[in-house]
Structure 1
Amino acid sequence: MKTYFVDSFTTEKFKGNPAAVCITEIELSAETMQSIATEIGFSETAFIQKTGENAYKIRFYTPKQEIALCGHATLAASKIIFDNTGLVNISFINCEEVELKIEKMADKIVMQFPVYETSEMDVPQAVFSALGIKEVVNTRFSQKNKIILIEINDSDKLAALQPDFQALLNSYSGINGVLVTALSNSPDFDFQYRYFWPWAGTNEDPVTGGIQTFLTKYWAEKLNKNKLKAFQSSLRTGMMTIELIGGKVFIYGEAVIVFEGVFKN
């Protein structure tokens, strides 16, 4: 099984968010895919299988469980297919039968993701304490993603957060992660964010595309603009342009292949 390591949402190796992409010729069991993802240890491993000329099935696994949607692993898988086939348009079908349309556009890869709503939520003080947050602007909840959204008032404070991850795990249950975001202090970006998800994946995801299914709409409404630039303030850092068009969020990104190998039977 051909396998690749790809750094997504960056133009530099060892930046952005690493994902593994496994090209499957036959159906793999969920147990096998989970074992491979756990062995690799990246925040996500994507398994793709060709089903038509421009069509592929895609499954996403963290080291702990399968998830329905992942932005950086979709970007990584798209990069591999575009580079190896010369195609410029493809479609993925995920485990929930959601179609993800992908286009190669000059030096960018453009992904069409669904848009999900958020609702009001009272977040326990224990969550803020575990994150090291003292002042909060707003809190929301993405039911579809099972992610808590917390807006704070300073992107420098966001970058400086050093969560207590065991305390964070103990502070709440039944969710996939907590997203903390702030208006950017930099003129180059509209907003910044970090994503902590020890419940479902790793402690912190370096660059997260899937959360744009609800975060883009959140900031688009606050800033009254449909095209935005986002920066993820993780240790590896990453950036992306996102745009709301016709009920979809378009995510523009780049990726770099850093490794190619073969999994043995």
Structure 2
Amino acid sequence: MKTYFVDSFTNEKFKGNPAAVCLPNIELDAESMQSIAAEIGFSETAFIKQIKDNTYSIRFFSPKTEIPLCGHATLASSKILFSTTSFESIKFININNVELFIEKEADKIKMQFPVYETEETEVPQKLLDALGVSEILEKRYSPNNKIILLEIESARKLADLKPDFTALVNSHTGINGVLLTAISDNENFDFHYRYFWPWAGTDEDPVTGGVQTFLTKYWAKKLNKTKLNAFQSSLRTGTMSTELVQDKVYILGEAVIVLEGNFIL
């Protein structure tokens, strides 16, 4: 099975978020895809298969479970197809029949994702203790993603967080992850964020595109602007630009191919 490793949301190798992109030439069941994703060990492995012309099915697996929607693995898959075909645009269809429209824009890849609403929520004190945060400016929840959103006061404090992941995963049930965000202290960006998801994937996702389905709208409302620049302050770091257009969010980013090979099935 043709397989690629791609670093997403970066123009440098070994930065951003690594994803595996697999192009199976036989039918694979979910159990097999899950085993392959666990073997590779990245936060996401994408499996893409051509339906017709420039339309592909896409499925995403963390080392633990299938994830319906993933930004960085969609970007990685787009990078591979734009590099190996003559397509100028791509349409992916995910496991929930959500259509993702992708196109080139200069040296970047532009992805169209849906926008999801958030609602007010409460979080257990033991979850905040596990994260190492004491002051929360706002608490929201994205039902579509099963992700808690917490805004804190400082981008510096966000970057310095060192969660206790054993305590964190035991502090809550029924969620996929916790997203922490803060207004930027850098003039090149509007907001910073980090994503912790030991419930469904790895301890921390290096760069997360899928959360922009609700995070862009959150900051667009707070900052009264529709075009935003985001910085993910993980160890590897990553950047992206987003634009809110009615019920869609456009995510623009770069990606670098770092490995090409064959997975022996």
TM-score (norm 1): 0.99
Residue 31 of structure 1 is matched in structure 2 by 31
Partners in 1 of 2:163 and 2:264 — Cα distance? 38
Query: Match for 2:120: what amino acid?
Result: E
Which aligned segments of 4 or more residues in structure 1 are displaced greater than 6 angstroms? Answer: none
1:219-238 paired onto structure 2 within 5 Å: 219-238=219-238
Task: Confirm whether residue 58 of structure 1 aligns to residue 47 of structure 2.
Answer: no
Percent identity over paired residues: 68
Unpaired runs of 5+ residues, structure 2, are none
Asked whether 1:160 is paired with 2:149, we answer: no
Unaligned runs of 5+ in 1: none
1:252 is aligned to 252
CA distances 1:133-170 after superposition (whole Å, capped 9, x unpaired): 01110000000100000000000000000000010011
Match of 2:49 in 1: 49
Distance in 2 (CA, whole Å) between partners of 1:264 and 1:190 is 44
SS in 2 for 1:221: helix
User: Counterpart of 2:52 in 1: which secondary structure?
Assistant: coil
What does residue 78 of structure 2 align with? 78
1:113 is the counterpart of 2:116: no
2:145 corresponds to 1:145? yes
How far off its partner does 1:106 sit? Answer: 1.4
Aligned residues: 265
**Aligned counterparts of 1:233 and 1:263: Cα–Cα separation in 2:** 32
CA distance in structure 2 between the partners assigned to 1:219 and 1:191 by the alignment = 8
Residue 172 (structure 1) aligns with: 172
CA offsets, 1:76-121, max 9 Å, x none?
A: 0000000000211010000000000000111010000000000000
Report SS of the residue matched to 2:10.
coil
- 1:87-126 equivalent positions in 2, closer than 5 A: 87-126=87-126
Partner of 2:6: 6
Q: Name the counterpart of 2:16.
A: 16
CA RMSD of aligned residues (A): 0.5
**Matched AA of 1:261:** G
Distance 1:165 1:23 in 2: 33
Partners in 2 of 1:246 and 1:24 — Cα distance? 36
Amino acid corresponding to residue 186 of structure 2 in structure 1: S
Deviation of 1:246 (Å) = 3.0
Whole-angstrom distance in 2 between the partners of 1:74 and 1:24? 16
Shift of 1:130: 0.2
Letter of the structure 2 residue corresponding to residue 74 of structure 1? T
CA distance in 2, matches of 1:29, 1:181: 37
Deviation at 1:26, TM superposition (A): 2.4
